[in-house]
Amino acid sequence: MSSQVGASKHLSNAGIKALELLTGIQNGAGRCPLPVGIIGPGDGGTRECEAAYEVASVLASAGVTIVCGGRGGVMEAAARGASESGGIAVGILPEEDLSGANRYLTVAIPTGIGEMRNALIARSGICLVAIGGGMGTISEMALGLKWSKPVFTLYEDAQLTGARAAKNKEQLIEWVLECLVSKLQ
């Protein structure tokens, strides 16, 4: 999978400026890192997992905390992208123990509440990034939209009204960066 540099070099000039601005703000003294939820299937394919890795890598390199379901597939790829970029990956697990946690998590939170943990993931992020998906991802997207969270999607067949579908990962990253910068200004 590509590094953060590889993923960010294809951003537009506006995207690069947003990334630089966010990085400067997030790495400033006294900042609490903004959380972004990256959601998707536990059995995600190569395309979805590569995108999750790259998106998380770019965001984590800018000081953003990645929140995910903490298991395999897209969740593991996002945690790996954050971890390998020196960032923080928080996994909110459905189990009451760490048995399902992937090895790239900085923090694993075993909830013991099963799929109800999807609400915690949806509530935790400033915005949600859905990469691929199934019913669990759709539930997280729906809750995020209900709570007026920006929801951005890539490779998601089931589109919900209010979610923004990106054409590619670069557009997705730029939208997320713009969203985060707008929250900080």
62 pLDDT higher than 70: yes
In the predicted structure, residue 27 carries a pLDDT above the cut 80: no
Q: Which of 15, 3, 5 is nearest to 174 (CA)?
A: 15
Residue 117 has a pLDDT of: 98
> Under a CB-based contact definition with an 8 Å cutoff, are residues 22 and 62 in contact?
yes
Q: How confident is the model at residue 54 (pLDDT cuts 50, 70, 90)?
A: very high
**Rounded to whole angstroms, how far apart are CA atoms 96 and 111?**
5
Amino acid letter, residue 47: R
Q: Are 152 and 166 in contact (CB under 8 A)?
A: yes
The overall average pLDDT reported for the chain is 92
What does the CA dihedral 49, 170, 124, 185 come to, rounded to 10 degrees? 160
Which domains are delineated in the chain? 33-110 (3.40.50.450)
Instruction: Answer for the pair 79, 46: CB distance below 8 angstroms, yes or no.
Output: no
What number is the average pLDDT over the span 48-68? Answer: 97
| pLDDT value for 1 | 40
State how beta strands 128-131 and 151-154 pair. parallel
The pLDDT assigned to 4 comes to 44
Rounded distance between C-alpha atoms, residue 4 and residue 117, angstroms: 29
Q: How many CB atoms lie within 10 A of CB 109?
A: 16
**pLDDT above 70: residue 29:** no
Tens-place pLDDT, residues 82-140: 999 999 999 999 999 999 999 999 999 999 999 999 999 999 999 999 999 899 999 99
Q: What whole-number distance in Å separates Cα of residue 164 and Cα of residue 153?
A: 6
Instruction: With cut-offs at 50, 70 and 90, classify the pLDDT of residue 166.
Output: very high
pTM (predicted TM-score) = 0.89
Q: What single DSSP character describes residue 115?
A: G
